[in-house]
Chain A
Amino acid sequence: MTAKKITEFLAHLRGAPGQRVVLSRLGFALATLLLMSLITFAATSIAPEDVARNALGREVTQGQVELFIHDKGLDRPFAVRYAEWLAGAATGDFGVSAVTGRDVRADVMPRLGNTVVLALLALVIGVPLSLGVAVYMALRMGGWQDVSLLAGTTVLTALPEFVTGMGLVLLFGVTLGWLPIDSTALLFGSAFDNLSAYVLPVTTMVLVTAPYTIRIARSSICESLASAHTRAAILNGLSRRRILWAYAVLPAATPIINTLALNLVYLISGVVVIENVFNFPGIGRRLVEAITTGDTYTVQAVALLMGAMFIIINLAADLMAAYVNPRLRAR
């Protein structure tokens, strides 16, 4: 975007609801992104020798290391290398991996696609499911349906994602044999294999994220049901449906949206563990591989990509929460 376009955009925002909120959140998100990139680059390549040894393996001479450092320009000051890397990253150029010998971008992008499909599927199934269950529980608060669902969500929230995933593998893959025990089929399988490869990872993601959303949404709705304004609405004789949606659920929207945002954010980072449970060929799996093989450039690329997605989703959620909050929307 050119400077002129930015000015126009800002002028458009002026007078629009919560303009200052938008700008301050935008600035904060940019600062965070910059900090994330700095931490990533500093942690992984502040010591040129480590980068070289990671790339070349342990059995190398000091001469080979020095040659590598010189070749790759690792002997230049940190600030220069960081600026160069950042400029490259901004245009999508993350260099060529010294471990696999492949262009990092070409290696990562298809996997990013797989991950995004996985996360979106989990989102599309998980969000309506959690909201529906939460409203159902709030309406039956204290009843046996509510209590048993609450117990179920308490246990599910407590389980680490790899335990949940392994439980599903043991049940559906090993004991029942209905589904493949991992998702490697995605790399070369048929259309049907592709579909079944998604079932367990998506189910795991929903089982890991939904219980938390359900608990938060249920307690916010219950809190509004216990509030004085809901009692006032009842004593005004309003219909059950109107009270439920406008007086109980609507005031609970801010915490619910914040929780959904947390969920989304989780889908981006928690995907790392779940992909590794199922050997799912996404960027999370690639990141862990890259860390264990010392593939510095790939680590940098994936970390920056995932970090950017995390921060953008956080920003979007913040803005949305601000939008439903009447204090920020008014005037």
Chain B
Amino acid sequence: MSVNYLQGSDAIAPGRVRTPGLWRTLAASGGGRIGLGLAAAMVAVIALGPSMAPYSPTQIGLGLPNDPPSSAFLFGTDELGRDILSRFLFGGRSVVLMPLAAVTLAMLVGGGLGVLGAYVQVRPGLEWLDRLISSLFDLALALPPLLLALVLIAGFGTSPLVMILAVAVIFAPRTGRILRGAAQAVVTSDYVAAAQARGESVLYILVRELLPNIAATVIAEFTLRMTWAVIFVAALSFLGLGAQPPSSDWGLMVAQARSFITVSPLGVAAPALGIAVLSVSLNLIADALARYLDPASGKPGVSL
């Protein structure tokens, strides 16, 4: 009996209807577009800022202390007579780079452990390793994050390096738990069972079966973690426990200009706005990515 299965709407059409990719989903949502636009603008300011700055960010006594905005100093000067605009244009780099370093470290260590934990779940005899890793995560997650960072900084000294390590320590178990969950869904799927039944190597399963399927989660998790890291690191710099003078890090700039807020409000407003726009843009992108991963989250409810 020969039946042509390719009739009607089951025919494979030459034109393809693909599920929209991550990038396209991001660009399709209003929030995602605004987020991408703002992020692009901030990256431009942060990357090109130093080459456009009229003065050195650390040069003292360029003008009178706390001078109001003028044609020479567009944003005015701070309490040491430094140019606020130049300090602002230089101060964005550490606001992005320190969280980037911390999150990358956290994802490598925490995410690595999480994926390992998920993977050993299907290796008979190694389940204890997953239980050990999960318990470590649970215990670490029960500790108060900001307090833990403060204690570590109190013990090991105030420096950007200590702060990056402290933030990485705090984020590692959080990121690890998310990636363990994502990897678990893949590892327990039948296509991994099928690969195991074929006798594929561990390396093949990790690289060809697992990684492509958690890539979107990794990207979304990275973005989400970055939004929190930017806030967290800026707050620590604001407290004087991250970036150190004479750096013009935006968090530190806000803290230093705090005492002169009535005479030179732009010293607080410019860096605060910079952090705000950066953080909002990252958040919008992270929200859009979360919707990509869980499209059902936005389904319509009933109206009562």
Contact = CB atoms under 8 A, between A and B. Distances in A.
Interface stretch (B111-119, B210-218, B277-285): B277-285
A303 B151 contact: yes
B235 A43 contact: no
Contacts of B155: 42-44, 46
Interface string A136-173: 00110110000000000011011111110011011001
Nearest to B279: A158
A48 interface: no
A273 B146 CA distance: 10
Interface in A168-194: 169-170, 173-174, 181
A35 interface: yes
Given A162-B238, A226-B299, A269-B145, A291 B154 contact: yes
Contact of B156 (A43, A224, A314): A43
Most B C-beta atoms less than 10 A away, residue of A40, A160, A161: A160
Contacts of A139: 304
A35 B302 CA distance: 47
A301 B182 CA distance: 40
B239 interface: yes
A72 interface: no
B283 A158 contact: yes
Interface of A: 28-29, 31-32, 35-36, 39-40, 42-44, 46, 138-139, 141-142, 154-155, 157-163, 166-167, 169-170, 173-174, 181, 219, 222-226, 230-231, 234, 240, 243-244, 248, 265, 268-270, 272-273, 276-277, 287-288, 290-292, 296, 299, 303, 306-307, 310-311, 314
Contacts, number: 166
B133 interface: no
A28 B142 contact: yes
A230 B301 CA distance: 9
Given A31-B139, A240-B304, 4 more contacts: A36-B143, A273-B238, A299-B151, A314-B142
Interface residues of B, number: 52
Given A43-B154, A244-B304, A306 B147 contact: yes
A306 B301 contact: no
B262 interface: yes
Contacts of A166: 254, 258, 261, 268-269, 272
A32 B143 CA distance: 7
23 contacts: A35-B143, A43-B155, A46-B155, A154-B31, A154-B284, A158-B282, A158-B284, A159-B276, A160-B230, A162-B272, A166-B261, A174-B261, A174-B262, A224-B301, A226-B301, A234-B304, A269-B146, A270-B146, A272-B147, A273-B239, A291-B241, A299-B151, A311-B144
A181 B238 contact: no
A310 B275 CA distance: 28
